[in-house]
Structure 1
Amino acid sequence: MAHIPSIRTTLERARFATSSRLIACLINEHLVRANADSPYSVVINSLDDDVDMDNKLFLSLIHAIPVGSLTSLDPTDIVPFHILDKNGKELLCPVEIADQFWEGCTIDLKQELASSVRKQEWILNHLPTKIPSLFSPAIEWDRYLIEGHPTHPMHRTQIPFDGFESVLATPMVKFISIPRSELVIHGEWETIMKHYLPSAPSPDTLILPVHELQVSNVLSRIPSATLIPNFERQFVAQSSIRTVVPQLASDLPGFLLKLALTICTTGAWRTISYYSVYNSPRITPLAKFIAPECLVVLGEVASIGSNATDEMVSKHIACIIREDAEALMPNESIIVA
């Protein structure tokens, strides 16, 4: 049995965060054979009959479970770093685990796992210096979601923007002028954004806020689009990456922006579908009407997007205005958990 060190590097911690989620997912989706040979230990085999059946993975668990076949597991039930191979050697790398035990795992999926580890390691090396308190703004609590999604193995994937962690954390929003004939707007977009956006070059154009890493995508898909020079706004990203908070609350009081961004995280691309652009401002008043008084609905009140019929184009060109919880509940502490 391997000696389990008491002090861990941030890379080891990042690998365990991803690997524990991966292993739990493989068990829960029945992609491996798992058996509890004692109340606190689990043995895993690949489903692939061509793989050496002596190749096993051993887990130690925090809580006792029934002995026998195991069909579900929470990643937080795995004792930290107690993932061992058939030789009793620690095996924390999720890509190696996928290679050995996940039949059919593609190169793309392995790249997503590796990206998740890299981003998680970066976060652990750049933790906020101040722990949030009851008096902290909501974004500070949001940024303290250290490991992201609690069960998804691609919980911190950020393909294709590995190495852009600082930009993703505090992005600039750029502004692009697009002919009005190529866009649709819903809700009170122009009223809300009237004093926030730069002036449009002509009445026949509208201004689209764009994440700085999405600018080239927009310009390549709309030849008539023009980047407004020397004009940008600083934002802070929520953990969801594409929803951003104005660094200066006075910039856009009461609202946040949800921006289309061609980034893959938790297994999905964070662009914005035409259906979201259309439906969000329509569903919000309905949700507010039917919600009981004990619930506060954070609405999506206005939107702008491409009118292209090709969704491979339109999903890259969109922005939705979201209500800010702190503005709706000014006397409350908003804590994201």
Structure 2
Amino acid sequence: MNVIQTTNALPIGYSNKEKRDGPLDLFSNLDIAYAEENDMLIANFATASRLLKCAINEGLVYATYHHLENNITGVSGVIYVLPKKKNFKNGKEGEEGIIERVTSVDPWDMIKPIQERMMLPCLESSNVIREIGASELMKILGKWLKLNDNILNMICEELESSVKYQEWEQSIIEGHPTHPMHKSRKAVKPIPEILPGTYDFETPTIRFVKISQEKVMIRGPINEILLKLINIISPKPFCSPNYILIPVHELQLPNIIKNFPYVEILSSKYSLKSISQASLRTVLFTQLPEYAFKLSLGIKVTSALRTITPWSTHIGTELVPIFEKMNIDKNILHIANEIASIVSNERDYNIAKHLSCIVRYNINDQNSKGERIIICAALTERDESGKTFLPPALDNGFSFEAHPQNVLARFNDTKLNGFVIRDFGGVRFHQETLRKSIGQRINVLEGSATQAKNLIEQELVDGKCFLRMKYEGLYRDYIHQPNPNLILYKSEDEGVTLDSL
């Protein structure tokens, strides 16, 4: 039998408190290694812990938590993970603690190592323990879940990409806090494989393509903004009035050739160097610092290709007048509005998403009235009063996608003045609550994933199943697993709930 085990620094916040009978004689205390760890081991654990979290929280495995009493190492206990068909019903409590069923864990509470323990019940001395990384863990899960070899190999490749790419982005090491592909840079054909260190993601070259204006959908002053960008190029390319030039990430050119035979790719002499933001596909030009350009890029990061769908190019400009009416403290929260966009008008959105561009205001140190702007993924800040993002959610039924990559912190010397929010492709809103609060609904394209069916106040809420979606090949079509609602969270020690603060 195979058992996966890892240590936990903090008590499990959400276990069923359901005592499990287990043959604890099979398990020995985990030795804690204090030896210096190299970067690859740390990177591997960062990815593997997220993968293990997905397997547990999505109900794909059977997990138990063994609490360690009087432990001076700082380790609270050990999590044991087995195939879901396994269960312990007729055992007893162990001498050092009890076995509890675990249904929800946080990867940030885990401590190295994650280990595989191979046990033969008839030969206890034959137990073999080895530390495993993300790919080894996924292969074990793949065997338990009976995954197709092609799907399993694809997932393992993306996990390896996540491990390898945890160095390139300077201070933003960890990436997505819970997704197992948190740092993946997996190029998808026809884009060739990109090995770490072989491409400069920080200063990519931006190429331009010429397309008929009849072949695109335009929102906002995109023509005027793109003209400013074209004027930077030397020599300046010619474009007739019925056509428009669109910036394209150079890595995306194979997808342009494949999907848009009627598009003309300009010579490389008509190109510009750019500076990428944390998302890879959003770039800045030093000669035009007031704008940020979000471009399609056929590389998988976390769940999906970093392309831009017509749903995303549509929603940003629709939100500009909505934000003006919502309950937002504009002294604290500044909004990097998406003011213009362009996208191919191909009826198949899976093709159209490969040629698109969103332009947003770039709030930075130069235009922020002396404030220092820092991405929150590099410097995690807490908004303890909740004044920034809770009022729009509670009063207007509007939730920003306020993860650390989308939020910038605004500092004046050492004082935190507030935040900047950007990127609105992943916002969620409840139309009826919005209408009642500001007298207006948001115009969305059919099939948009931004509308919420109801306000979430129940004890269990739908949590996105990253791993199940990955091996079932889904992105926009979500799979959910019930998870505890943090709004109703009650501290076991202090009896505090969020709604009482």
Same topology, TM > 0.5: yes
- The corresponding residue for 2:438 is none
Give yes or no for the alignment of 1:305 onto 2:305.
no
Partners of 2:334 and 2:305 in 1: how far apart? Answer: 28
Structure ID, larger Rg: 2
Aligned to 2:54: 25
Q: Is contact 2:162-2:181 (8 Å) kept? A: no
Structure 1 residue ranges (4+ consecutive) displaced by more than 6 angstroms after TM superposition: none
Cα distance in 2 between the residues matched to 1:122 and 1:296: 31
Q: Which residue of 2 aligns with 1:12?
A: 41
Counterpart residue number, 1:74: 106
Q: Percent identity?
A: 27
Q: Is 1:256 equivalent to 2:292 in the alignment?
A: yes
Instruction: Map Cα deviations across residues 86-142 of structure 1 (whole Å, 9 max, x no partner).
Output: 445333222221222351445435434443434433433x574xxxxxxxxxxxxxx
Who is 2:422 aligned against? none
230, 238, 245: which is aligned to 2:284? 245
**1:224-245 Cα shifts (integer Å, max 9, x gaps):** 2112211211122222221123
2:67 counterpart residue number: 38
- 2:335 alignment partner, SS class: coil
Is the contact between residue 235 and residue 245 of structure 1 (CA under 8 Å) also seen in structure 2? yes
Q: What is the aligned partner in structure 1 of residue 212 from structure 2? A: 179
Take 1:208 and 1:307, find their aligned partners in 2: how far apart are those partners? 14
CA contact (8 A) 1:14 1:117 kept: no
Q: Deviations over 1:126-181 (max 9, x none)?
A: 574xxxxxxxxxxxxxxx21021111001112222441653333211100111111
Give the equivalent residue in structure 1 for 2:246: 208
Instruction: Read off the aligned partner of 2:186 and give its amino acid letter.
Output: I
Paired residues of 1:120 and 1:147 also in contact (CA < 8 A): no
Trace 1:67-216 onto structure 2 (pairs within 5 A).
67-86=99-118, 87=127, 89-102=129-142, 103-106=145-148, 107-108=150-151, 110-124=153-167, 128=170, 144-160=171-187, 161-163=193-195, 166-197=199-230, 198-216=236-254
The amino acid that maps onto 2:160 is V
Q: Alpha-carbon deviation of 1:282?
A: 1.9
Secondary structure at 2:240's aligned position in 1?
coil
**Partner in structure 2 of residue 319 of structure 1:** 357
Map residues 200-239 of structure 1 onto 2, 5 A cutoff. 200-229=238-267, 230-239=269-278
| Unmatched runs of 5 consecutive residues or more in structure 1 | 55-64, 129-143
Residues 113, 153 of structure 1: 8 Å contact kept: no
* Deviating more after overlay: 222-231 vs 4-13: 4-13
- Give the match's secondary structure for 1:152: coil
- Secondary structure of the residue aligned to 1:70 is strand
Deviation, structure 1 residue 201: 2.6
- Alpha-carbon separation, structure 1, partners of 2:302 and 2:178: 10
Post-superposition offset of 1:67: 4.6
1:204-253 CA-partner distances (Å, limit 9, x unpaired): 1100100111112113322221122112111222222211232x2xx222
Q: Which residue of 2 aligns with 1:335?
A: 374
- The CA distance in 2 between the partners of 1:212 and 1:69, in whole Å, is 50
| Cα contact 2:162–2:185 (8 A) shared by 1 | yes
The secondary structure found in structure 1 opposite 2:323 is helix
Tell whether the 8 Å contact from 2:65 to 2:101 is kept in structure 1 after alignment: yes
- Residues 211 and 244, structure 2, Cα contact 8 Å, conserved in 1: yes
Bigger shift: residues 219-228 or 295-304 = 219-228
Q: Distance in 2 between matches of 1:220 and 1:101?
A: 36
- State TM-score, norm by structure 1: 0.82
- 2:308 corresponds to which residue? 272
The number of residues matched between the two structures is 305
Amino acid at match of 2:174: E
Cα distance change, pair 23–93 in 1 and its aligned pair in 2 (3 A) = same
> How many Å separate the matches in 2 of 1:232 and 1:97?
43
Q: Quick one: distance in 2 between partners of 1:237 and 1:325?
A: 15
Contact residue 45 and residue 101 of structure 1 kept, 8 A: no
Letter in 1 for 2:338: E
Q: Could you tell me whether the CA contact under 8 Å between 1:13 and 1:121 is conserved in 2?
A: no
SS in 1 for 2:48: helix
Alignment check: 8 A CA contact 1:288 1:297 kept: no
Q: Could you tell me whether the CA contact under 8 Å between 2:166 and 2:183 is conserved in 1?
A: no
**Matched residue type, 1:158:** R
Root mean square deviation of aligned Cα: 2.6
Segment of structure 1 superposing worse, 75-84 or 22-31:
75-84
Moved more, 265-274 or 327-336: 327-336
Say which structure, 1 or 2, has more relative contact order (CA 8 Å, 6+ apart): 1
Structure 2 residues not aligned, in runs of 5+: 1-29, 69-76, 89-96, 119-126, 188-192, 231-235, 377-501
The one-letter amino acid of 1:185's match is I
Displacement of 1:5 in angstroms is 6.0
* Secondary structure in structure 2 of the residue aligned to 1:192: helix
Check whether the contact 1:37–1:67 (CA below 8 A) recurs between aligned residues: yes
SS in 2 for 1:283: helix
Q: Which has the higher helix share?
A: 1
> What is the CA-CA distance between 1:255 and the residue it aligns to?
1.0
